[in-house]
Chains A and B, each alone.
Chain A
Amino acid sequence: MNRSRRQVLQVSAGAAGLLLLGAGGLLPRWARAAANPLAAGDARPEFLALTLDEVVKALGGGAAQASSDITLRAPEIAENGAVVPVEIESQLAGTRRIAILSEKNPHALSAVFTIPEGTEPYISTRVKIAETSKLYALVQTDSGFHYAERLVKVTLGGCGG
């Protein structure tokens, strides 16, 4: 085996190792995100962000305040982390966007919904949750960002095979 083939194989093995570790959830968050990129061409900063704070910044905010005017419904225990039903209703005036985040997913942000005038600040959908972690409902109003959280226990993790 000549030197360049050996180098290519070593680099490939390294990358494959990183990907496997990433998929197994054994890396720190920053490395996990690097090992689990979004689809080619998807460079949306809010979807690349790793934490609630980073998502809020990427969406143009400063910091999010906890709010009891956001109703977040999700199961306490999700039997299947690949299909977790989530319902969010905002009682905050001037709700413009509703977003769903999972604290320990490879990337924190799952979805963002833009609510035009005339549409109720209510969303029901289903998301993947990788492991037991906090689920966040993030609401953007005219006055800033607010959130509610709920711990969701996951028995069968949602993001991989």
Chain B
Amino acid sequence: MADPMRIRATLTGDVVEVKVLMSHPMETGLRKDADGQLVPARYIRDVKVSCNGRDVLTAEWGPAVSKNPFLAFRFKGGKAGDTVSITWTDTAGDSRTDQAVVG
């Protein structure tokens, strides 16, 4: 998928809040296109988030996560300047990794 994730990683005290907006159609396989054809199911199924190499969240998704998935969560132990890395893998085998610096 072409568009990068939009990631914000903000440090408040000792807690990093991560907000990410991913770009993905998250097709359920139930939607029909303009010609009346069913669009095949295709959705992100695995998400991994790490901070400086440490796993801070993993997720398994199905087709019911909304199109262009939004996710926010919080973790401790991050510092300003750390790198948050997010990787998704979808049912077609496509994958995408994007990063942001904790600020």
Contacts and interface: CB of A to CB of B under 8 A. Distances in A.
Interface of A: 19, 23, 36-42, 44, 46-47, 82-84, 102, 105-107, 109-116, 118-120, 122-129, 158-161
Nearest to B43: A39
Contact of A107 (B62, B65, B70, B91): B62
Interface stretch (B1-9, B53-61, B80-88): B53-61
Nearest to B62: A47
A38 B65 contact: no
A41 B66 contact: no
Contact of B73 (A47, A106, A120): A120
Contact of B45 (A42, A83, A119, A127): A42
A116 B56 contact: yes
Contacts of A109: 62, 64
Contacts, number: 129
Nearest to A129: B64
Interface of B: 15, 28-32, 38, 40-43, 45, 54-67, 69-77, 91-92
A114 B58 contact: yes
Contacts of A37: 29, 41
B74 A118 contact: no
A80 B39 CA distance: 20
B43 A111 contact: no
Contact of A39 (B29, B31, B58): B29
A44 B98 CA distance: 26
5 contacts: A23-B30, A39-B42, A114-B57, A114-B58, A126-B69
Contacts of B75: 118-120
Among A36, A83, A125, find the residue whose CB has the most chain B CB atoms closer than 10 A.
A125
B64 A119 contact: no
Given A23-B30, A109-B62, A122 B74 contact: yes
A123 B31 CA distance: 27
A80 to B, nearest CB: 9
Given A37-B29, A113-B58, A116-B56, A128 B91 contact: no
A27 B40 CA distance: 21
